[in-house]
Structure 1
Amino acid sequence: MIQPRKWPILTEEEKKDEQKIKVVAARMRDKHPQDIIRWGIEQLGVSSLALACSFGCEDIALLDMALKVNPDLDIFYLDTDLHFKETYEVRDRLSGKYQKQFIRVSPDLTLEEQAVKYGEKLWKKDPNLCCNLRKVEPLKKYLRNYQGWITGIRREQAPTRAHAEVVEWDQGFQLIKLNPLAFWNSKQVWNYIFKNQLPYNPLHDHRYPSIGCEPCTRPVLPGEDPRAGRWSGTDKIECGLHNSPVS
């Protein structure tokens, strides 16, 4: 007897068909995140898929899962040159633990060049432009080399992510996007980190559930939304990397 496939496979034509990808997402949403990563690698090939790592708790869990599936998977991070020192420190600890060199993706402009062109502390005057220059555009250039990317976004994190699927067609970057933790809650993420004794950013223990650039991130007060500490004092809630489909 022919055994049914463990999970769906897309043809080359279907990889860019949003409706087909929605069907796959519906069938994959109950799979373990590690199985979703495995599907992505089997579907696209390890050299055509990359994991975006901000070194926050979700990405640390995903990094561990992904490297257990295939240690050759590319892991990259967007270095805005504005991260907390603790973020760089946990990057180095993880690199040592896994004996893995993470790919640094940097903006075209240094902070000094940006200040000359746009003025000092652009993140205060125009945070959208700053994020675009230091995150979105570098990511867009980097992802041209891939057919898919893996992110740590979860539905629970914010209203803008409430409809994220485990598999999506990323309209902005024109490739397949995997969100293996989309249906996980914060407790599941931390249980995985503690069970596997993974290094994590100590700022998480000091009311920083979501960690971005140092000038734009503050501790979250009791009762606040977990992402309330990002771009506090502005109406900005996303950096522009993730534009999940709306219901």
Structure 2
Amino acid sequence: MQENLLKIVAESKTLEEKLKQISNLIQGKIVFSTSFGIEDQVISHAIYSQNIKNIEVFTLDTGRLFPETYSVWDKTQLQYNTKIKAYYPNSESIEKYINENGINAFYNSVELRKECCSLRKVEPLKRALVGASIWITGLRAEQSNNRNSVREIEWDEEKQLYKFNPLLNWTTDEVIEYLKQNAVPYNLLHNEGFVSIGCAPCTRAIQRGDDFRAGRWWWEDQSKKECGLHK
């Protein structure tokens, strides 16, 4: 299947064409994970504007998101007259973690931060991907040095599915221009210097010239800024 997918991606010029081709080719479950950042909003628009019904759009609500994130979630559903499926952390696991470690324990060590990410993101993602043949993401190579080796379509051995990263080679300027041209709703925190937006306690604005991921887990080592969703 990968050869067919790669051929289609190579032949398709626009984002809309690529998503339409994928939706037509894949017989199994196709899912798209959105965190309502600008990249994900671009893909959401391309899906909804073409009325592609067989791509399931979902999000992970960690319980610690910014109010602005919930706002753009609501605006997106209203603008495209759709429902975005939400996955939540296991309540018992979160209760145990907080009762044992504290409400903001992720500041205390890398291990506790990664455990929090695992409970709030990784475990719900596993449930969201059950039965999926292909997972569409908003990853871009420009976002992180750790993503330079990512391919537009690749096999994820751990998750046993294909990952499709249609915006891999897009620049930030191209993403913003697409949003403007199509009047796509976006997270207003982007206007305040927030680039990569995750949970509120773990995200802050960055300065011009900073690394794309500098605003995430800023109190930790700067060498790797990932939460475990994309390895």
TM-score (structure 2 length as normaliser): 0.89
Number of the residue aligned with 1:209: 195
Deviation at 1:169, TM superposition (A): 0.7
CA distance in structure 2 between the partners assigned to 1:146 and 1:76 by the alignment: 12
> Is residue 74 of structure 1 aligned with residue 56 of structure 2?
yes
Offset at residue 146 of structure 1 (A): 1.2
Q: Counterpart of 1:116?
A: 99
- For the 8 Å contact 2:8–2:18, the answer to whether it is kept is no
2:91 is paired with a residue of what secondary structure? coil
Secondary structure of the residue aligned to 1:226 is coil
What is residue 60 of structure 1 aligned with on the other side? 41
Q: Work out the number of aligned pairs and report it.
A: 224
1:9-88 maps to which residues of 2 (within 5 A)? 10=1, 15=2, 20=3, 24=6, 28=10, 31-45=13-27, 48-72=29-53, 73-88=55-70
Equivalent residue for 2:75, pick from 93, 97, 104: 93
The answer to whether the 8 Å contact 2:140/2:168 transfers is: yes
* Shift in Å, 1:68: 2.6
The one-character-per-residue Cα deviations of 1:55-104 (angstroms, maximum 9, x if unpaired) are 00000000000123334221100010010000001100000001111000
Indicate if the aligned counterparts of 2:9 and 2:18 stay in contact, CA closer than 8 A: no
- 1:224 is aligned, of 175, 200, 210, to 210
Return closer, same or farther for 1:27/1:82 CA change in 2, 3 Å cut-off. closer
Q: 1:234 aligns with which of 209, 220, 225?
A: 220
Moved more, 99-108 or 231-240: 231-240
Q: Which moved more, 1:176-185 or 1:65-74?
A: 65-74
Q: Distance in 1 between matches of 2:88 and 2:11?
A: 33
Any idea what SS the aligned residue of 1:147 has? strand
Q: 1:29 to 1:207 in 2, by over 3 A?
A: farther
Q: Determine the C-alpha separation between the residues in 2 that align with 1:158 and 1:25.
A: 26
Q: Do the aligned residues in 1 keep the contact of 2:12 with 2:18 (CA within 8 Å)?
A: no
- Give the % identical residues: 36
Question: Residue 145 of structure 1 aligns with which residue?
Answer: 131
Distance in 2, Cα, partners of 1:98 & 1:39: 21
Distance change (3 Å), C-alpha of 1:79 and 1:29: farther
Deviation, structure 1 residue 114: 3.0
CA distance in 2, matches of 1:26, 1:156: 23
CA RMSD across the alignment: 2.0
**Partners of 1:183 and 1:29 in 2: CA distance:** 15
State the SS of the aligned residue for 1:212.
coil
Taking a change above 3 Å as real, the CA distance of residues 165 and 30 of structure 1, as seen in their structure-2 partners, is: farther
- After superposing on structure 2, the runs of 4+ consecutive aligned residues of structure 1 that deviate more than 4 Å are none
Shift of 1:116: 1.8
Q: Conserved in 1, the CA contact under 8 Å of 2:89 and 2:121?
A: yes
- Report which stretch shifted further, 105-114 or 179-188: 105-114
CA shift, 1:222, in A, is 2.2
User: Residue 66 of structure 2 aligns to which amino acid in structure 1?
Assistant: F
